[in-house]
Amino acid sequence: MKKITFIGTGYVGLVGGAGISEFGHQVTCVDIDQEKIERLNAGEIPIYEPGLKTLVKKNVNKGRLHFSANISKIIQKSDIVFITVGTPQGSNGEANLSVVEAVAKTIGENLNGYKIVCTKSTVPIGTGKRIEEIIRSVNSMGDFDYVSNPEFLREGAAVKDFLHPDRVVIGTRTQKAIDLMEEVYRPLYINETPILSTSVETAEMIKYAANAFLSLKISYINEIANLCESVGADVHEVARAMGLDGRISSKFLHPGPGYGGSCFPKDTHALAATGQKYGSPLRTIEAAIKTNESQKVRMVEKLSRLMGDSVNGKTIAVLGLAFKPQTDDVREAASRVIVSKLVELGASVHAYDPIAMDNFKNHFPNIKYFDSWQDAVKSADGCIILTEWNEFRGLDLNELKDLMRFPVILDTKNILSIQGLESCGFTFDNVGRKLHQ
């Protein structure tokens, strides 16, 4: 059993802290946000993540998971300190590392015996070296090993991804650190999860290379979908056949309004910026970023076309605001760009999302929000689906048609039946599918 600290109790820190306490270690999640710590100590979970509340509660009750704002004291008592603070995108596309650097300094000031300092946040290649330098600059005699242990969890499936990962990457220099990290992940080791030991720089690169590749895959299928529309092909059939080739795989070949979230947009920009910095540009990734941006705008153009070439003065129901289902996160969501453009073009937006409305209100306080999809579509001139929530997959098309002023719908997630829409008399469009059966 190891004593472990997570500095930064956001998505990665809270899921990671709860997950590692589940592996049997003594974990304390710390944060400078005193209020957040008080809420966690009162049993409140600040983010929505399936299974997280139960996992936190279980491990708090077992006495293995704690929350504290006393960062220095907790670091001193730890064997392993995970850095899980945010790395937002700076104005130049590169990740902003000021918080990571401040944390490294605090760790250096509290190194009172051998510890592992391990970064889980996604940080640009070379950050590990920088963190080591900062720690040494405040504590030249400090005894520690640095580890890069990138996190691959998906929002909405984060607990499952943490407890059953495809692989664990441990980037470090010494065998002592590898052994200790393997002990942390021991239950996975027994499950035969691949545990890859690499250099720090390689581990840092793996995370970016993986996320950028997935973004590339999505932008690729979105462009294929757009071409399918022009040539009369069906992107789902194309994607299915492509995916049956084991070299390609069927995952991440779903077309849509453009990817969003806290990782892909930020990580692709950061990797592209790193490529430029080292004179080794990643042109494929730069193209994937551009394609993603234009895909969002394309959705507004499609909707305008469906509505007689203008949304000005029209009421548009927007169903789904989260960047994907099972999350209340709206960071970089396609909805942000699309709603903003619709408002700019003079539309009145009536929005509904099962759980992401509160977060969306922080960015768009002036559009109208409704408590059900039925209320949002009432008397609307057109409707656009942006998130594939299950309740939209099953929505009653007759009821939808009766509620709307005009039966016009853009299904950007291709979740509605074309046959159903046709037989109900909808004017509709989707992404990359034939419009007639």
| Active centre residues (catalytic) | 263
Nearer to ligand UDX, 256 or 432 (CB): 256
Judge whether 211 and 263 are in contact, CB under 8 Å.
yes
CB of 221 to ligand UDX, least distance (A): 7
Judge whether 44 and 23 are in contact, CB under 8 Å.
no
Distance from C-alpha of 87 to C-alpha of 274, rounded to nearest angstrom: 15
256 lines the binding site for ligand UDX (CB under 6 A): yes
Q: In the block, which residue shows the tokens 């099962």? A: 354
Q: In the block, which residue shows the tokens 């002036």? A: 366
Lay out the site mask for ligand UDX across 116-155 (x = CB under 6 A, - = otherwise).
Answer: ------------------------------------xxxx
CB of 126 to ligand UDX, least distance (A): 20
Say how many C-beta atoms besides its own lie within 10 A of residue 212's C-beta: 23
Nearer to ligand UDX, 82 or 426 (CB): 82
Name the segment binding ligand UDX (CB under 6 A); options: 26-34, 87-95, 210-218, 297-305.
210-218
Nearer to ligand UDX, 295 or 315 (CB): 295
CB of 265 to ligand UDX, least distance (A): 9
Lay out the site mask for ligand UDX across 226-255 (x = CB under 6 A, - = otherwise).
Answer: --------------------------xxx-
CB of 110 to ligand UDX, least distance (A): 29
Q: Which helix (H) or strand (E) holds 184?
A: helix 175-184
322 lines the binding site for ligand UDX (CB under 6 A): no
CA distances to 81, 201, 203, 275, 317 from 269, rounded to whole Å, are 28, 18, 18, 10, 31
Contacts of 384 (CB under 8 A, 6+ apart): 299, 303, 316, 317, 318, 319, 338, 409, 410, 412
Say how many C-beta atoms besides its own lie within 10 A of residue 365's C-beta: 8
Residues 350-379 that bind ligand UDX (CB under 6 A): none
Site size toward ligand UDX, by CB under 6 A:
18
Nearer to ligand UDX, 282 or 403 (CB): 282
The token pair at 360 is: 């969306």
Angle between helices 127-138 and 200-231 (to 10 degrees): 150
- What is the DSSP code string of 291-336? HHHHHHHHHHHHHHHHTTT--TT-EEEEE--SSSTT----TT-HHH
CB of 58 to ligand UDX, least distance (A): 23
Q: By beta-carbon distance, which residue lies closest to ligand UDX?
A: 263
Beta-strand runs (E) in 149-207: 168-172, 195-198
Residues 385-414 that bind ligand UDX (CB under 6 A): none
Q: Which of 67, 82, 146, 264 forms a contact with ligand UDX (CB under 6 A)?
A: 264
Residues 23-82 that bind ligand UDX (CB under 6 A): none
Chain contacts with ligand UDX (rule: CB under 6 A)? 152-155, 211, 214, 218, 252-254, 256, 259-261, 263-264, 323-324
